[in-house]
Amino acid sequence: MDFLEAMQHRFACKVYDSRRVLEDSEIQKILEYGRLTPTSFGLELWSFHVVQGSQKKEALFHACFDQESVRTSAMTLAVLVRTSAFANPDGDLVHSRGKRFPDPLSVFIDDYRPYYDFLRSEGRLDCWLKSQGYLAIANMMTGAAAMGIQSCAIEGFDEKKVLRVLDVSSDQWQVSLLATFGYPAEEERPKIRQSLDSLVTYH
């Protein structure tokens, strides 16, 4: 399946065939699509939590307002992102990430700091951090569709409950987005989309 076909055949799957698990190689491939996703300034202030066990999945199902997609999924994936304190240009985490690039760390920080200050002054740091995870999930969903695996992005969640289920501290992490994956137990739904003519303005 090429990229366009994967886009055309991916649909928001609400119920999976819960008897069909995902092979470990399939899960690793989906995670690799996430790992290779770009992040702003290459900071990768995120982590991916894979939930397959039935007990944790049941708890996540409740943390996601009892959405069947979570309960029946072969895997529910949560993308967490660091809390805003970790994005500080003078912090250890930003330094360790910035040191990975060919230029000296000072060049990286001089580039990053004004944008960080801008986001902070606008009150947009959390929004910026969380938006990174959406790209990863998008790539993982399309990548999964190319393998015949369906998915559904899950924005309907109670953040405090999700963090509790995943056993992580809200001082350190916040939830960007979840997604469920598996083989569908429902028919593919046709796409409902605006036409390009009504959607695009050319300048």
- Pick from 11, 48, 86, 183 the residue near ligand FMN by CB under 6 A: 11
**Which segments within the chain are labelled E, that is strand?**
46-51, 75-82, 150-154, 173-182
Cα–Cα distance between 2 and 108 in angstroms, integer?
36
- Judged by beta carbon, residue 86 or residue 183, the one nearer ligand FMN is 183
Q: How far is the CB of 187 from ligand FMN (least distance, A)?
A: 12
The CA distance from 66 to 54, in Å, is: 14
Separation between Cα atoms, residue 161 and residue 147, nearest integer Å:
31
Site residues (CB under 6 A) for ligand FMN, limited to 69-128:
69
Spatial separation of the C-alpha atoms in residues 60 and 157, rounded to whole Å: 9
- Does the footprint of ligand FMN cover residue 14 (CB under 6 A)? yes
Q: Residue 179, interface with ligand FMN (CB under 6 A)?
A: no
Which amino acid belongs to residue 106?
Answer: S
Does 62 bind ligand FMN (CB under 6 A)? Our answer is no
Total residues in contact with ligand FMN, by rule CB under 6 A: 12
* 50 scored as a contact of ligand FMN (CB under 6 A): no
- The span of 9-17, 27-35, 49-57, 159-167 binding ligand FMN (CB under 6 A) equals 9-17
Question: Is 171 buried (19+), middle (13-18) or exposed (0-12) by CB count in 10 A?
Answer: exposed
Does residue number 191 form part of the binding site for ligand FMN (CB under 6 A)? yes
Which segment (80-88, 108-116, 150-158, 160-168) binds ligand FMN by CB under 6 A?
A: 150-158
67 part of the interface to ligand FMN, by CB under 6 A: yes
Q: How far apart are the C-alpha atoms of 47 and 60, rounded to whole Å?
A: 17
Closest separation in Å from C-beta 80 to ligand FMN: 16
115 and 94 Cβ atoms separated by less than 8 Å = no
Find the largest Cα–Cα distance for the chain. 54
Q: Does 60 bind ligand FMN (CB under 6 A)?
A: no
Please give the residue ranges that form the binding site for ligand FMN (CB under 6 A).
11-12, 14, 67, 69, 152-156, 189, 191
